[in-house]
Amino acid sequence: SDMVVKKIVCVGAGYVGGPTCAVIASQCPDIQVTVVDMNAEKIRQWNSDELPIYEPDLDGIVKKCRGRNLFFSADVVTAIREAQLIFISVNTPTKTYGLGEGRAPDLKYVESVARTIAECAGGPKIVVEKSTVPVKAAQSIAQILYAAQRDNPRLSFQVLSNPEFLAEGTAISDLLKPDRVLIGGDQTAQGLAAIAELVSVYEHWVPRERIITTNTWSSELTKLVANALLAQRISSINAVSAICEATGADVREVAHAAGTDSRIGPKFLQASVGFGGSCFQKDVLNLVYLCESLNLKEAADYWMGVVNINNWQRRRFADKIICEMFNTLSEKRIAMFGFAFKKNTADTRYEPGSRESSSIYVAKHLLEESAHLCIYDPKVPADHMIAELSNVSGSARVAKQVFVCNDPYAAAKNAHAIVIMTEWDEFKELDYARLYASMMKPASLFDGRVMLDHNKLVDIGFYVHSIGVKC
């Protein structure tokens, strides 16, 4: 091909765009990478000492590359004009209105980036869809770009799909050592040439056999399928956890023994209070909507079951807390340990229609029972918790019943129960005898992550209740 990628721009300086570009810049000293965003405050933070997101090892990589071949800018137009390759890495939240409300992803941000590219490209570009989108989204982007190309012979575009598989909390190691990189594109001479350009970027650090190339639709669909399969494993083990609680089987033993079969595998079988995060529910609903729009009702129902079990698991855990505490939480203080949807991340962003952490829902159910919640999380800022809880429970109720604590011992003081919501490592190391001594009696502990030594807690005096274990 006649194009060599020397400058990359990424539109969207979020959880995906920021870390991805930091890693590309660190691995490709010969390429200049600029990350742009319409949110100027976010760009200011990326250029400061306090990055807008927390990921292990992100700080070091950004500091090493920033100003060398990694730049953060609010000047979207200039960066697009100068780059040969453009990543679209904007958010694609679940639609909260109109056709497909509550299921279909909202592509308005993706479309607006495509229109900006069409307006200001000035020359040939490879446009790479990195956001998670429905199948055929690349075609919509291409339609906008080709309309501009028709009016201006200096323009030419190739649209590729290159979904991101990183998980929050391990973004940098996932990016440095990916299981695979997936690139889809048109199976034409120009399409294959564009694919080869993007392959050569990743080949700087990813072994060639780990870079999979497919047609555009396979690549788009694979992203939805990968998240749906992962979420399905969690819903499967969570459905099993309820059977364990009722029968005396132990979900840890079942997951281990079943997962030892190499065809099943040990990962992603950790029973929990339900999956959270910005993408699993959103992307499964995206797949459900795709099935529905293709008139595949049975397939849609099948995947919808994954989301239904997740909601049921959250409700079930809250109900267990209420039941075990004599059916009333009125005026009782409950210490919630953890608010983040998983450890090593502070991300509990609230996007209407795609709510994040299971903690928000369990808290909502407990607040409706008039409980007083004292929440401790090592990373999530207090104002985030208050904002998210207010969103689902109303700010008046939250102001009266929610207290954010700076340490777990303060949260547990005079509480009737401790509820483990996030699997932070530090919760394993706490002095539970000291916590117990400061609590009201009888003191209960609800392990929503099946992560503590329950026998030890029982010896201390706790009434212990756990997901997936008959207590």
What are the binding residues for NAD(+)? 12-17, 37, 42, 90-94, 131-132, 168, 279-282, 349
Q: Using CB under 6 A, count the residues that bind ligand UGA.
A: 21
Q: Tell me whether the omega of the peptide bond preceding residue 442 falls within 30 degrees of 0, making it cis.
A: yes
Binding residues: 12-17, 37, 42, 90-94, 131-132, 168, 279-282, 349
Beta carbon nearer to ligand NAD, 109 or 217: 109
Length of the chain: 471
Beta carbon nearer to ligand NAD, 42 or 372: 42
C-beta of 410: minimal distance to ligand UGA in Å? 25
Q: In this chain, which stretch among 113-121, 226-234, 239-247, 297-305 interacts with ligand UGA, using CB under 6 A? A: 226-234
Annotate each residue in 98-117 with x if it binds ligand NAD (CB under 6 A) or - if it does not, as one string.
-----------x--xx----
From the list ligand NAD, ligand UGA, none, pick the one residue 339 interacts with, judged by a Cβ distance below 5 to 8 Å according to partner type. Answer: none
Report if residue 183 touches ligand NAD, rule: CB under 6 A.
no
Task: Figure out which of the listed residues 16, 107, 128, 144 binds ligand NAD, where binding follows CB under 6 A.
Answer: 16
Report if residue 169 touches ligand NAD, rule: CB under 6 A.
no
Closest CA to 128 of 271, 8, 291, 306: 8
Contacts of residue 396, Cβ cutoff 8 Å, sequence gap at least 6: none
C-beta of 118: minimal distance to ligand NAD in Å? 13
C-beta of 233: minimal distance to ligand UGA in Å? 7
Annotate each residue in 214-233 with x if it binds ligand NAD (CB under 6 A) or - if it does not, as one string.
--------------------
Q: What is the 3-state secondary structure (H, E, C) of the chain?
A: CCCCCCEEEEECCCCCHHHHHHHHHHHCCCCEEEEECCCHHHHHHHCCCCCCCCCCCHHHHHHHHECCCEEEECCHHHHHHHCCEEEECCCCCECCCCCCCCCCECCHHHHHHHHHHHHHCCCCEEEEECCCCCCCHHHHHHHHHHHHHHHCCCCCEEEEECCCCCCCCCHHHHHHCCCCEEEEECCCHHHHHHHHHHHHHHCCCCCHHHEEEEEHHHHHHHHHHHHHHHHHHHHHHHHHHHHHHHHCCCHHHHHHHHHCCCCCCCCCCCCCCCCCCCCHHHHHHHHHHHHHHCCCHHHHHHHHHHHHHHHHHHHHHHHHHHHHCCCCCCCCEEEEECCCCCCCCCCCCCECCECCCHHHHHHHHHHHCCCEEEEECCCCCHHHHHHHHHHHHCHHHHHHHEEECCCHHHHHCCCCEEEECCCCHHHHCCCHHHHHHCCCCCCEEEECCCCCCHHHHHHHCCEEEECCECC
Burial (0-12, 13-18, 19+ Cβ within 10 Å), 355:
buried
Active site residue 279: yes
Report if residue 39 touches ligand NAD, rule: CB under 6 A.
yes
Residues 376-405 that bind ligand UGA (CB under 6 A): none
From the list ligand NAD, ligand UGA, none, pick the one residue 129 interacts with, judged by a Cβ distance below 5 to 8 Å according to partner type. Answer: none
- Which of these is catalytic: 244, 279, 374, 405? 279
Report if residue 341 touches ligand UGA, rule: CB under 6 A.
yes
Residues 231-290 that bind ligand NAD (CB under 6 A): 278-279
Report if residue 12 touches ligand UGA, rule: CB under 6 A.
no
Beta carbon nearer to ligand UGA, 259 or 461: 259
Report if residue 314 touches ligand UGA, rule: CB under 6 A.
no
C-beta of 93: minimal distance to ligand NAD in Å? 8
Residues 263-292 that bind ligand UGA (CB under 6 A): 268-270, 272, 275-280
Beta carbon nearer to ligand NAD, 17 or 184: 17
Report if residue 15 touches ligand NAD, rule: CB under 6 A.
yes
C-beta of 309: minimal distance to ligand UGA in Å? 12
- Strand-by-strand arrangement of the 211-215 sheet: 70-73, 32-36, 7-11, 85-88, 125-129, 157-161, 181-185, 211-215
Q: Report the 10 Å Cβ neighbour count for 40.
A: 11
Q: Using CB under 6 A, count the residues that bind ligand NAD.
A: 26
C-beta of 439: minimal distance to ligand UGA in Å? 26
Task: Figure out which of the listed residues 252, 342, 364, 372 binds ligand UGA, where binding follows CB under 6 A.
Answer: 342
Residues that bind ligand NAD (CB under 6 A): 11-17, 37-39, 42, 76, 89-92, 109, 112-113, 131-132, 164, 166, 168, 278-279
Residues that bind ligand UGA (CB under 6 A): 132, 164-168, 227, 230, 234, 268-270, 272, 275-280, 341-342
Question: Residues with catalytic annotation?
Answer: 279
